[in-house]
Amino acid sequence: MNKNAKLAGVIMTAMLLPSLSGTAMAAYSADSDTGITALDYIENAHRAERENRLTEEQKKLLADAAEFGKSLQYPLDKKKASPIAFEGEDLTYDERDGSFIAKGKVDILQLDAHRFQSELVTGNTKTEDISVPDKAHVLQMTPGQTRVTLDGYKVKYNYGKKIGSMEDGKGKAGAHYITGKRFEFYPEKIVVYNGTDTKCGAQKPDYHMAAEKMVIYPNDKVVMDKVRFCIKGKTIFTRDHYEAGIGDNASGDKTWPRVGYNSKDKLWISWGQKFGLRPNVALNTNFMVTGADGWRSNYDITWGNRGMSTGVRYGYFQDSNDKWIKKQPSYFWNYGHRLGHSHFTYSLGVEHGEWYGNGVHSDHTEYNFGLGYDPIKFNRYTLYLHTGYNITKESYNASKVNGFTADAVLTKDFDDRWAAYVGYHYSKKNSRNTLFTYNTDDYSRKLESGFSYRIDDKNRLAVGTKYDMDHREWKNIDYYWYHDMHCTQFILRYKSKENSWNVRWEFTPW
């Protein structure tokens, strides 16, 4: 189950998979301590590719723009507007003032991959204006700008300044399905008034956000004001302001509630929210209630900028093996950066605070240093390498554990259906020599491996395993079934070594 509280596991994934962390590709997660997250990144990369796959009309627009470019008899002047071509059943043009009227199946093509289609278009070639008084179909595939496919009314557009507007629009911007009473187009952004936004492509979306104003920045973020979060058309909560990354900056934001069941927690409900307090300062709340233990939420206030983050955490945290710890509170500082222009990255981290678990309280202090290398890719294989040094101190029994860590993971993306991984991990710190069992194994050396197979567009099967190399025994053999249900996903996990089941249901990640 993904409860958005497994911070230590997320940090390890970020260090081990530096090229993938912080992107949309982590949206769907298996929630396992068998290393199967490596397959999740591959699966989400395939999802992103399918999500960004060109439609037939987008392909045609690019082909027509390329053909148009070949037909030009003069070199382009980058300081001037991109050339434009008009087609229609009835065209009227006045050379004196540059005005024109086009009627009947009008198609206007701009070389930078803009297309306007309608039954009636007026404009002026000298002022570089286009006006569609009635219904219009707009396509935008301009490099560096958001891909747009919209149907609306009363379109006005200046193709020289790349500024325009549309009334009562509906369509798609990037991977998001949007509607709006009014759209405004600018080179660097799209502004939507009284609009809705969702990644659910159904005629009546299972969920959506409605905002008085939305500003979409290409491949960066969407900023919303006066937001309503709706499920099946019903408002479940509101926010005055909300921001989320999109494109390469998307982070699989868990804005929407999730529900699950497992043998330890019983029925559980989880809901994460992020609130911007000041520039670079955010309050993260992860509300969770379980049938077995009741309230199991956690919170943090984090300041982050230029690779550095620091703050305080409080509440219950759960690792990938369903083990809990309570921080009352815990302070942290992390920093990561690239070594010059090399392929190496390094990270530094400190956490100190009162921990409660296993029936004891202790002042817990942990120092981490990590050194990683950029992913090495060859023949659909990817190799991830990371090493580090860890120091852990506890006041309860005056214990101290320090030693090296080492991680090597090899993945193979065979095709759209098959993927596999194998990984070796070493850590001197384990549950036998440290006070808390949270996020630790009871051995130092482990081997992880697994594979996944996509049956069809809606179903995927996966297996993840973990082998204790110190005692030469299998610790985990987990089986997964992922099933896409409209705009939500159902995930079933069976832990064969424990004979336990885990069920999770969540909305399509943002």
Domain of 95, CATH number, reads 2.60.450.10
Q: For residue 461, which phi and psi values (nearest 5 degrees)?
A: -110, 145
Mean pLDDT for the stretch of residues 353-361: 93
| Whether residues 42 and 60 fall in one domain | no
| Whether residues 45 and 63 fall in one domain | no
| Whether residues 326 and 469 fall in one domain | yes
Q: The tokens 């709006």 sit on which residue?
A: 180
Q: SS3 string of 50-62?
A: HHCCCCHHHHHHH
Q: Specify which residues 260 forms β-bridges with.
A: 268, 504
Q: What is the pLDDT of residues 88-123, one digit of tens each?
A: 889 888 888 889 999 988 999 988 898 999 999 999
| Whether residues 469 and 322 fall in one domain | yes
Cβ-based neighbours of 307, under 8 Å, separated by 6 or more = 335, 336, 337
Domain endpoint, select from 216, 245, 274: 245
The span from the CA of 418 to the CA of 334, in Å, is 36
Pairing, β 114-124 against β 99-110: antiparallel
Cβ-based neighbours of 442, under 8 Å, separated by 6 or more = 430, 431, 432
With H, G, I as helix, E, B as strand and everything else as coil, classify residue 78.
coil
Q: CATH number of the domain at 358, please.
A: 2.40.160
Domain range enclosing 186? 56-245
Tell me, what's the pLDDT at 16? 40
| Whether residues 45 and 102 fall in one domain | no
pTM of the entire structure?
Answer: 0.81
Q: What is the pLDDT of residues 463-509, one digit of tens each?
A: 999 999 999 999 999 999 999 887 888 899 999 998 888 898 888 65
| Whether residues 117 and 163 fall in one domain | yes
Tell me, what's the pLDDT at 508? 67
Mean pLDDT for the stretch of residues 132-146: 89
Q: What is the pLDDT of residues 188-234, one digit of tens each?
A: 889 999 999 988 888 888 889 999 999 998 878 889 999 999 988 89
Pair 454, 481: CB distance under 8 Å: no
**Number of neighbours of residue 98 by Cβ within 10 angstroms:** 14
Provide the domain count of the chain: 2
